[in-house]
Amino acid sequence: MQTYYSDLLVIGAGLAGERVACEAAQNGFKATCLSIVPARRSHSSAAQGGMQAALGNCAKGEGDGPDVHFIDTVKGSDWGCDQEVARLFADAAPIEMRRLAAWGVPWNRVVPGQSFYFKGGEKFEKYEKEENEGLITARSFGGTAKWRTCYTSDGTGHAVMCTMDNRCAELGIDVFDKKEAIALIHDGETCMGAVVRCLRTGQLEVFLAKATAICTGGFGRIYKATTNAVICDGGGHILAHETGVVPIGNPESIQFHPTGIVPTDILVTEGCRGDGGTLLDVNEERFMHIYEPEKAELASRDVVSRRMTEHMRAGKGVKSPYGEHLWLDIRHLGDKHISTKLREVDEICHHFLGVDPRVELIPVRPTQHYTMAGIRTNKDGAAYGLKGLYSAGEAACWDMHGFNRLGGNSLAETVVAGGIIGAKIVEFLKGYETKFDTAAINAEVKRQQERIHDVIHGRNGKLNVYKVRGEMQDALMKGCFVFRNKEGLEECVATLQSTLEKARKVGLVSDGAGPNHELAAALKIEGQVRLALCIAQAALMRTESRGSHNREDFPERNDAEWLNRTLAYWPVGADMPDLKYEDTTPLFELPPGDRGYGGGKIIPADEKYVKERTIKSPVTEIGKKK
Amino acid sequence: MGRQLKFEIFRYNPEKEGDVPRMQEYTLDETPNMTLFIALNRLREEQDPSLIFDFCCRAGICGACAMVINGRPGLACQTKTKDQPGHLILHPLPVFKLVGDLSVDTGVWFREMYAKTESWVHTNKVFDPTQEEERMDNEVAEQIYELERCIECGCCISACGTARLRDDFMGAAALNRIARFVVDPRDQRTDEQYFEVIGNDNGIFGCMGLLACEDVCPKGLPLQNQLGFLRRKMGITAMKNIFRKK
Ligand SMILES: Cc1cc2nc3c(=O)[nH]c(=O)nc-3n(C[C@H](O)[C@H](O)[C@H](O)COP(=O)(O)OP(=O)(O)OC[C@H]3O[C@@H](n4cnc5c(N)ncnc54)[C@H](O)[C@@H]3O)c2cc1C
Ligand code: SF4
Ligand code: SF4
Ligand code: FES
């Protein structure tokens, strides 16, 4: 068996993983990264919009700073985040953007003089200052007080991913692709690395390290409809969760986007609605104004997603071989507008639908988009439960997003958290020696070999993995989507319990030889259903609505009872998650208040509790002024 | 709607003892807005779970799914079946090492390319976190980005006559990568240093200029311009070198 050693093993080579690896390598440690696909194909490269950092260089960003970014982030989280972490993040983001510039990211820059921009269909004028020429500029994004989103044309994630991967090449970091981690090696206390399946040969390999970081991105693919790449399937979460000692933080906290195209759920921008596009139902009639007379199509992401779901449930969806959907209509915006301001939408319609949005309707439906849920870590990025195990990026619940993440904050999180957590790992590695427990290694390898042997030979049963996966995805779409209520969630939990039984009985149809995909799917199905059950059970227990978690039967945000974070453990051999809770944040710079959007009633927290934890901060003042 | 599609797919799993390369046929009912991403996944999930192929973003942005579709390299995820004849012939990309069926190893090829081209900004400046960023002209930034849009799908390499004949030919993607650093003012490499890397038959002088690469690039990268630009630049550098040697 091939065995590799390094100081740091990073599972996942997206932006977060590679940033962590760079930090270790720069400090003289040997870092190895694993990825299912070549690093640059990681989902980070799909992000187009940009990443937030309060540089305050452009005209509409004037007066911005980490304090304002911090406030936006806490409000955005619906007070579900850890405020110490949000502070670390907001303060470090500008430095990290400059570092990326030094490494080679071609950020768009300030061009002095007069220019125009549009807001709500109206044209406005702005002047960029001469003295700021050539500094990193920013664009506007939802939910922020200032223009703060740094970008490179329409390909921010791609450009930053290229630079980061180049940096890894420069530092001589081993980045292996077509390697999928399938289990952690640990003794219940310390993590020692991972068992990995090579996706070229199908062989198992062992990667040993003093520290291991899971940076495997989100797990949107456990939902049927998602904007995520096909490799965002929870593999990394499953590794940690399966140990029984590492919890998933806030599993019920999943973000949905209103306009994924049908059938492939590729995202079309919110800009369509922002510029005046409308949503139509099966009768080609508008409906959003019925539910939301004031804002109609322009209500916030979660609200529009909920109304669309409601309307389809009322039988007004358009039937298709891929399930029900609604229509997005931008025909009236005209050729000029579509071919300039919505060029990307035009291209997506052309390539993936063969639809001309000037004369045809675009099939859309709400779609899973982002997992705030993740491997629970402390503010150093160290996972709860296992020494030497870390997590960063979308895979982690570091927790700066709480119950809702703001656009532009997740891409920024990958590099900012990667830097901070990378530095903490370096601290950990300094002077740390370990012994690799060969018994634990051999036992884990043997366990995986047996597991593979059993599914290939149908020892546990012969259920089809794709069918079981479909059942899980349907259950989540039905009960755990944008809308949640007691009956729906109870039914979802019940269904998933029987799906879990089935997941334990899958067997391959093919022979599983070499880089076989069916085997990869079969090896993770049980873990995926466990994640699904955590989402459903945590959502059932949380009897309030906060951020992306919307309970029809409990519409208020209940700070009196639910100002906390769910920790979902899965004890080894259990059939249901074990839910525990902890305070959302050890201290408040910004005491709980109104987000200023999205409406909804708030049941206030105990005054004494809040007061005791509120610290003096520049932000309390600004926060109040707002 | 209503068409029955016939697929003829290249099959060979090198990890399977006794397996031989062959073409295998499948049929599938076409549905509206069907792409090869949908079709191939349906084939794998409903008919033949042993099929090997790669998809990742399924949105035309990552480059994972390049294959030869009816004789032409392209991205499977953004290929709509309705734009193709009812009989689809699928092959893996040539030039790259075959992983199995329609999947090839672009990862190793491109990583070796980063090493050869030293694909990073060469500078002796040290980053100072307390300082403002170094300024850059916005137009230059956009120019760099235009060259950085390559998704490393490998289509250009597969379509290239020279690359098919010679293992060590760098290919359009690598030459485009060099061009990206040539236009970047942060990179302090001189023309002589670039010449060391690409001023030979494995690099810019091996290119026959027939431009199959640009024709198939799904991102529409201006490969023709870049190859011309480098050829001129390296031609001049070669001349200088000759004179220096005298
Ligand atoms: C369509 C879309 C648009 C977006 N736009 C924006 C935006 O404009 N701004 C913004 O801030 N955010 C945006 N986001 C969110 C943001 O892109 C992601 O949250 C972020 O890129 C995640 O980065 P990551 O490094 O954590 O993980 P990823 O980039 O997803 O990388 C995960 C890595 O883990 C590897 N991996 C996974 N499982 C395993 C395993 N078992 N073994 C080995 N390796 C494994 C993968 O191969 C990959 O290398 C967008 C998301 C989507 C879906
Ligand atoms: S122009 Fe050069 S690089 Fe492009 S296909 Fe022809 S020989 Fe290859
Ligand atoms: S240059 Fe174009 S064809 Fe070649 S690898 Fe890059 S994106 Fe693909
Ligand atoms: S799957 Fe990413 S380009 Fe086709």
Q: What is the ipTM of this complex?
A: 0.95
**Within a domain: A265:** yes
How far from B105 is each of A403, B109, B193, CA to CA, in Å?
39, 7, 29
**Which atom, in ligand 3's list, is nearest to the CA of B159?**
3
Judged by its nearest atom, the ligand closest to the C-alpha of residue B231 is: 2
> Does residue A407 register a pLDDT over 90?
no
**Within a domain: A603:** no
Q: Could you give the 3-state DSSP secondary structure of residue B49?
A: coil
Q: What CATH number has the domain bearing residue A577?
A: 3.10.20.820
Give the alpha-carbon dihedral of A180, A186, A188, A190, to 10 degrees.
-120
A220 DSSP 8-state letter:
G
Confidence of residue A623 (pLDDT cuts 50, 70, 90): low
Q: Candidates A20, A411, A519: which one to mutate for ligand 1, based on the most atoms within 8 Å of Cβ?
A: A411
Judged by its nearest atom, the ligand closest to the C-alpha of residue A267 is: 1
Judged by its nearest atom, the ligand closest to the C-alpha of residue B54 is: 4
Closest-CA residue in chain A for B37?
A: A264
- Whole-angstrom Cα distance, residue B34 to residue A392? 36
Give how far A515 is from chain B: nearest CA, Å.
7
Mean pLDDT, residues A168-194: 97
Partner residue facing B56 (CB), from A97, A98, A229: A229
All residues of chain A having their beta carbon less than 8 Å from the beta carbon of residue B2 are none
Give the residue from A345, A367, A389 where a domain finishes: A367
For residue A622, what pLDDT is reported? 63
Give the residue from A336, A352, A367 where a domain finishes: A367
**Which atom, in ligand 4's list, is nearest to the CA of A41?**
2
Q: Which residues contact A571 (CB under 8 A, 6 or more apart)?
A: A244, A578
For residue A626, what pLDDT is reported? 42
Q: How many inter-chain contacts (A to B, CB under 8 Å) are there?
A: 202
3-state helix, strand, coil in chain B (%, to 5): 40, 15, 45
Whether A45 sits inside 8 A of B16 (CB atoms) is: no
Give the residue from A334, A367, A400 where a domain finishes: A367
For residue A295, what pLDDT is reported? 78
Is B44 near chain A, with CB under 8 Å? yes
Name which residue sits closest to atom 5 of ligand 3, judged by CA.
B152
All residues of chain B having their beta carbon less than 8 Å from the beta carbon of residue A99 are 127, 129
For residue A131, what pLDDT is reported? 95
Q: Quick check: is A376 catalytic? A: no
Q: Could you give the 3-state DSSP secondary structure of residue B219?
A: coil
For residue B98, what pLDDT is reported? 97
Q: Which of A2-6, A305-309, B52-56 has the lowest mean pLDDT?
A: A305-309
Whether A354 sits inside 8 A of B44 (CB atoms) is: no
Is B16 near chain A, with CB under 8 Å? yes
Most B CBs within 10 A among A44, A230, A456, A464, hence the mutation to make, goes to: A230
Q: Could you give the 3-state DSSP secondary structure of residue B134?
A: coil
Mean pLDDT, residues A562-575: 97
For residue B47, what pLDDT is reported? 97
* Mean of the per-residue pLDDT values of chain A: 93
- Whole-angstrom Cα distance, residue A106 to residue A88? 25
Mean pLDDT, residues A408-419: 96
- Whole-angstrom Cα distance, residue A213 to residue A259? 33
Output the CA A18–ligand 2 centroid distance in Å.
Answer: 32
Place of tokens 């209940």: A558
Model pLDDT for residues B172-205, shown as the tens digit of each residue: 999 999 999 999 999 999 998 988 888 888 888 8
All residues of chain A having their beta carbon less than 8 Å from the beta carbon of residue B133 are 97-98, 101-102, 135-136
**Of A114, A129, A164, residue with least CA distance to A57:** A129
Q: Could you give the 3-state DSSP secondary structure of residue B11?
A: strand
Mean pLDDT, residues A260-278: 85
Domain architecture of chain B: domains with CATH: 4-104 (3.10.20.30), 106-245 (1.10.1060.10)
- Domain containing A593 equals 560-597+610-624
> Does residue A117 register a pLDDT over 90?
no
Residue A160 and residue A51 in contact, taking contact as beta carbons nearer than 8 Å: yes
Number of domains in chain A: 2
Options A139, A148, A167, A301, the catalytic residue = A301
For residue A120, what pLDDT is reported? 61
Partner residue facing B50 (CB), from A37, A38, A511: A511
**Of B17, B101, B49, residue with least CA distance to A458:** B49
Q: What CATH number has the domain bearing residue A304?
A: 3.90.700.10
**Within a domain: A261:** yes
Output the CA A252–ligand 3 centroid distance in Å.
Answer: 40
Is B25 near chain A, with CB under 8 Å? no
Q: Which of A211-220, A614-623, B182-191 has the lowest mean pLDDT?
A: A614-623
Q: Establish how many alpha carbons lie within 13 A of residue A458's alpha carbon, considering only the half-sphere containing its beta carbon.
A: 8
Weakly modelled stretches of chain B, pLDDT under 50 = 246
**Which atom, in ligand 1's list, is nearest to the CA of A228?**
53
All residues of chain A having their beta carbon less than 8 Å from the beta carbon of residue B63 are 40-41
Model pLDDT for residues A500-517, shown as the tens digit of each residue: 999 999 999 999 999 999
- Whole-structure pTM value: 0.96
Whether B15 sits inside 8 A of A514 (CB atoms) is: yes
**Within a domain: A565:** yes
Partner residue facing B129 (CB), from A95, A231, A511: A95
Where does residue B71 rank: exposed (0-12), middle (13-18), buried (19+ CB within 10 A)? exposed
Partner residue facing A513 (CB), from B15, B57, B138: B15
Ligand 4: residues with CB < 6 A are B 55-58, 60-65, 75, 77
The strand pairing partners of A185, in sequence order, are: A193
| Distance, first Cα to last Cα, chain A | 61
Which pair of tokens denotes residue A24? 């270790």
Is B47 near chain A, with CB under 8 Å? no
Model pLDDT for residues A334-385, shown as the tens digit of each residue: 898 888 778 788 989 999 988 999 999 999 999 999 999 999 999 999 999 9
